[in-house]
Amino acid sequence: MRLQDKVIIVTGSTTGIGRAIAERCVAEGARVLVHGRDRAKGEAVVAKLGGRAALQVDDLADPACPPRIAAAAMAAFGRIDGVVNNAALVPRTTIYTAKVEDFEHTMAVNVRAPIFLIQAAFAQLKANRGSVINIGSINAHSGEPTFLHYSASKGALQTVTRNLANAHCNDQVRFTHFNVGWVLSDNEYTKQVAEGAPADWHTKIPQAYAPSGHLIAPETIAAAAVFWLSDESRPISGTVMELEQYSVYGRNPAKT
Which residues, listed in sequence order, are joined to residue 134 by a DSSP beta bridge? 85, 177
Residue 256 has pLDDT above 70, yes or no: no
- Average pLDDT of the segment spanning 98-112: 99
Q: Which of 130-134, 136-140, 183-187, 236-240 has the lowest mean pLDDT?
A: 183-187
Query: What pLDDT is recorded for position 151?
Result: 98
Query: What pLDDT is recorded for position 255?
Result: 67
- Average pLDDT of the segment spanning 245-249: 84
Q: What is the pLDDT of residues 73-87, one digit of tens each?
A: 999 999 999 999 999
Pairwise CA distance, residues 79 & 175, whole Å:
18
The neighbour count for residue 63, using CB atoms within 10 Å, is 11
Query: What pLDDT is recorded for position 191?
Result: 87
Give the confidence band of 250 by pLDDT, cuts at 50, 70, 90. Answer: low
Pairwise CA distance, residues 19 & 21, whole Å:
5
Pairwise CA distance, residues 7 & 30, whole Å:
6
Which residues, listed in sequence order, are joined to residue 143 by a DSSP beta bridge? none
Pairwise CA distance, residues 6 & 79, whole Å:
8
- Average pLDDT of the segment spanning 50-73: 98
CATH number at residue 17: 3.40.50.720
C-beta separation of 55 from 11 below 8 A? no
Structural domain boundaries enclosing 46? 7-181+216-243
Query: What pLDDT is recorded for position 146?
Result: 96
In a domain, residue 206? The reply is no
Pairwise CA distance, residues 190 & 45, whole Å:
19
For residue 21, the one-letter residue type is I
Number of domains the chain is built from: 1
In a domain, residue 147? The reply is yes
Q: Which of 67-76, 136-145, 200-209 has the lowest mean pLDDT?
A: 200-209
In a domain, residue 252? The reply is no
In a domain, residue 190? The reply is no
Q: What is the pLDDT of residues 156-175, one digit of tens each?
A: 999 999 999 999 999 999 99
- Active site members: 150
Taking the model in full, what pTM does it have?
Answer: 0.95
In a domain, residue 253? The reply is no
Average pLDDT along the chain: 96
In a domain, residue 208? The reply is no
